[in-house]
Structure 1
């Protein structure tokens, strides 16, 4: 049974049992012919009518009422004894008038619901509705109860038919009827009809000054999303955020902004949810951090991702450290990027990770470390563009005046089609020539002064 049906069933059972006492009291208002003076003889009963209880039936029903709902404090209901009394009365069913039949059968429904015998409860409500001279208020009450019970048993078409009959006969609308009709149509995936009834239900609650529960808004929201009516879903979710301020509502609001391609609002909403402490999963932290990086706010993305790692929400694995390192590079925070990049190569030890570390060292002008990391990247392999790594290696080697190695790396980059590699080969060659010329001048100067 679905969660919606479980809620409906529980609420309906509580309502039936809570109202049984009041219904019984109304039915058991002592008729004139059942009253008796203490100091005088009993008056003869009036002519039998179809809308009254005889003295004999009244006494049985009063006993059943007391057994089901004891008036004495601390006394427990005795449903089994109540059932025996009803069975005894039922043996004379054909001698009862229509009001007596309806009264007895109503107490049967209370009994069956009390012992969770739903099939017999349904059958008894159906039997009540066959009574020819059933009072209008009893017919309405039975139709509503039967419709609710059909819905709780997932007989949604029967529930809708029965409750629509109730609406045709009733002079007034009823919030509970609207609610059950909405749930029945929802379970049949008839969303337009369900939305109409649910909105009517909500309107009635507002008119009566009653609170609308969060799950009602949630159901309405689900149906709008199912219909891809995201604008309506947006308004409902904004209301939920304002009324309930729950994490799920903030996350849903961000998702709906995503459906509507309103990326700045989606990211802003997710960041507010983060500030409120409503992000719960690694995926949510990663999504927000990377979205901020893509929105030219990589520093904020780095803060959120590192906070997720520190809290243990985001696992410190290769994929996540790789993304963190990439965000540091996007932010041009090269000094701070060293630490996560070094953690990355410790975990994954692949070519790409070492390439990141080498590039970061190069940007920090730590050329010796850059050369070591880039050579390791080339050794590990699996690089997306080996030519670019060779070119970066050549740049670092030039800065260390290791021109022969730099020229070799630049030529390999040129062979692999790296952009601007040919120009860099020429640059290395000219730089080498200048360096060698300077070195030669130095040596001559030293020889001159030593001679």
Structure 2
């Protein structure tokens, strides 16, 4: 859980930074400095349409602000700040009205932000909203930026409080605001409130027929998983994949279906990723092959592993060769299974794989090789079912018409109660076959 939270912390910070930049851009549009062509009369006429009675922005102050704005646009931040500092010197501060002061602090905040001095930018924006009788739109936008800057500095509680003040003043809040609030609650580990807000953001986008952002889905999915709501997490992941079909999501979907015990859907998700060339790791390909085998599709399992070996994606180890040989054998592709199992057996120190190789030789009517492989297996030891291996040995000798060796092998197998009945049946069958052959010879 700690690792996952760290990853989301980095995401939250990135979201906050982006949001802060967006907020600054929106705020600048509210400042008269953003449109230097406005006359004082036009500005006053616009202010009269506000719900508050805002003081006028005088021409002399407007000109100074324009001077600072021009310097800032030319990246001469030092000059811009000097002009602003002179405007809010002790005497100047007393001479400026609240709206004029708000615009001075607004531009000063932008200068601090451009220097990545977020603490000073935050203080300047706090000074903006502390001025009485500024335009309502200006206060609303500035409060949003204050919240964003708190998030940038990881002041999560202060950011949430500032954002809640903004919500109280705003109508029809956008989805991004709910996501920002969700990120704040996430950082404070208040997961229920975090989930509530990110759900709201996603629903706002759905109602507008817009695609919710990828990181919103991921946050919601994490929060559902954290509270053990696997069904909701699965639903979010399925929706996420319709818009953002990435490998990791297909693989995660497969694992979630596995947790639900639905192997068919697990196979479907992994197969979908495979046909899109998204699976490129040894474990992923082995997992897909194993799913094919469990669902009775051994040929596809063999093709996946075979291609994995050819592409250098499946590791050159005993287990993978054993899995591939077993896939070909189940698919009745004995000729393909034999060389693969030979390789697997040669790489193993145990006799078990030689025992399996003996079985495959028997399936391929290579009886002498079957005898050699089983004898090697029994000599090496480590065979899981020696009784079964001896049954195979007996069958190979029988097909070579080496009846005494066959009888000896069957009797040895029958000493294990698990193979006792089967060994007796083979001995009876062999005796009847010997008798039949004698009668044919006599006749």
Q: Note the residue ranges of structure 2 that are not aligned, 5 or more in a row.
A: 1-5, 45-52
**Contact (CA 8 Å) 2:234, 2:256: kept in 1 or not?**
yes
Partner of 1:45: none
Query: Bigger CA drift: 128-137 or 346-355?
Result: 128-137
**Contact (CA 8 Å) 2:20, 2:148: kept in 1 or not?**
no
- 2: CA distance between counterparts of 1:196 and 1:14? 25
Partner of 1:294: 294
Partner of 2:204: 204
* Shift in Å, 1:334: 2.7
- 2: CA distance between counterparts of 1:275 and 1:257? 19
- 2: CA distance between counterparts of 1:141 and 1:18? 10
**Contact (CA 8 Å) 2:288, 2:301: kept in 1 or not?**
yes
Return the match for 2:40 from 31, 34, 50.
Answer: 31
- 2: CA distance between counterparts of 1:252 and 1:214? 15
Partner of 1:4: 11
* Shift in Å, 1:21: 4.5
Change (3 A) 1:401 1:66: same
- 2: CA distance between counterparts of 1:247 and 1:434? 59
- Partner SS, residue 31 of structure 2: helix
Partner of 2:420: 421
* Shift in Å, 1:243: 2.7
Query: Bigger CA drift: 244-253 or 370-379?
Result: 244-253
Deviation string 1:75-111 (CA, Å, 9 cap, x unpaired) is x321121111122222132433222221111111101
- 1: CA distance between counterparts of 2:31 and 2:114? 15
Partner of 1:68: 72
* Shift in Å, 1:122: 1.9
Partner of 2:48: none
Query: Bigger CA drift: 107-116 or 395-404?
Result: 395-404
- 2: CA distance between counterparts of 1:423 and 1:113? 85
Change (3 A) 1:95 1:78: same
**Contact (CA 8 Å) 1:351, 1:382: kept in 2 or not?**
yes
Partner of 2:47: none
Partner of 2:120: 120
* Shift in Å, 1:338: 0.8
**Contact (CA 8 Å) 1:237, 1:253: kept in 2 or not?**
yes
Change (3 A) 1:212 1:22: same
**Contact (CA 8 Å) 1:33, 1:55: kept in 2 or not?**
no
Change (3 A) 1:85 1:423: closer
- 2: CA distance between counterparts of 1:85 and 1:441? 121
* Shift in Å, 1:314: 1.4
- 1: CA distance between counterparts of 2:436 and 2:270? 61
Deviation string 1:396-446 (CA, Å, 9 cap, x unpaired) is 22332333433433343334x25233663685488479859978997x99x
- 2: CA distance between counterparts of 1:94 and 1:126? 18
Residue 87 in structure 1 maps to residue 94 in structure 2: no
- 1: CA distance between counterparts of 2:177 and 2:43? 37
* Shift in Å, 1:147: 0.8
Query: Bigger CA drift: 393-402 or 377-386?
Result: 393-402
Partner of 1:341: 341
**Contact (CA 8 Å) 1:205, 1:211: kept in 2 or not?**
yes
Change (3 A) 1:131 1:34: closer
- 2: CA distance between counterparts of 1:130 and 1:343? 79
Instruction: Please give the TM-score of this superposition, normalised by the length of structure 1.
Output: 0.83
- 2: CA distance between counterparts of 1:348 and 1:405? 27
- Partner SS, residue 53 of structure 1: coil
Number of residues paired by the alignment?
424
In our comparison, the structure showing a higher alpha carbon Rg is 1
Partner of 1:59: 63
- 2: CA distance between counterparts of 1:365 and 1:132? 97
- Partner SS, residue 154 of structure 2: coil
* Shift in Å, 1:26: 5.7
Q: Mapping of 1:400-439 within 5 angstroms?
A: 400-415=400-415, 417-421=416-420, 424=423, 428=427, 431=430, 435=434
